[in-house]
Amino acid sequence: MFFSHTLGLEQPKDLKILQQTTLIKACFYANFQVEIRNSVFLVPEQDHAQRNITFTGQTTYSTGNAPNSVVAADVNGDGKPDIIVGNAGSNNVGVLLNIGNGTFTTQTTYLTGANPYELTAADVNGDGKTDIIVANYNSNNVGVLLNIGNGTFTAQTTYSAGSGASCVVVVDVNGDNKPDIIVTNAGSNNVGVLLAYC
């Protein structure tokens, strides 16, 4: 019989127990194994006192037609989050640089496919600069605009998707440290996975 029991960790003063679970796993076939594991998850102690928060009225910045999606990411490496907006009715994306104090430049636009329905921002080529990935709904493809520095971008490179490419996320799905693209195809009733390779 295998028996494993881990207990007795001393809790550091600046950490608190987020969750404590006990896992009991038993196998009654080949070797009759029982494993009991106590897991303690520690997170920094935080002040959870409720605060009142209010917001100002909006300050507006012009975009293209029918802006349909937005993300915030630092595209020029100054530590300030910038705005990237998908102008679905203008077939472009707009980049508004953060000039401090929560104010932004007018948008600089970059062409996309037809009806850029949704976008995300991620460093897809590993150069440390945030790129733009856009789902071009009426073009049935995904566009990738690489960041060439100072918050400016290349023309898009397109990759075929299904009908009605509508949403994109970027994540490494196969553990090779290269970010992959997942796209929903609204007109095809499926989801597509585009693996990155060099």
Phi-psi region for residue 8, left (φ > 0), alpha (ψ -120 to 50) or beta?
A: left
Phi-psi region for residue 32, left (φ > 0), alpha (ψ -120 to 50) or beta?
A: left
Which listed residue (68, 70, 74, 182) binds Ca ion by CB under 5 A?
74
**Residue pair 195/180 in contact by the 8 Å Cβ criterion:** yes
**Rounded Cα gap, residues 40 and 24, in angstroms:** 15
**Taking CB under 5 A as the rule, does residue 108 contact Ca ion?**
no
# binding residues, Ca ion (CB under 5 A): 17
Say which amino acid occupies 127. D
Which listed residue (89, 180, 186, 192) binds Ca ion by CB under 5 A?
180
Instruction: Give least dist CB 194 to Ca ion, A.
Output: 10
Beta carbons within 10 angstroms of residue 154's beta carbon = 13
Which listed residue (176, 187, 189, 191) binds Ca ion by CB under 5 A?
176
| Interacting span for Ca ion (CB under 5 A) from 7-15, 37-45, 91-99, 101-109 | 91-99
Binding site for Ca ion (CB under 5 A): 74, 76, 78, 80, 82, 98, 123, 125, 127, 129, 131, 147, 172, 174, 176, 178, 180
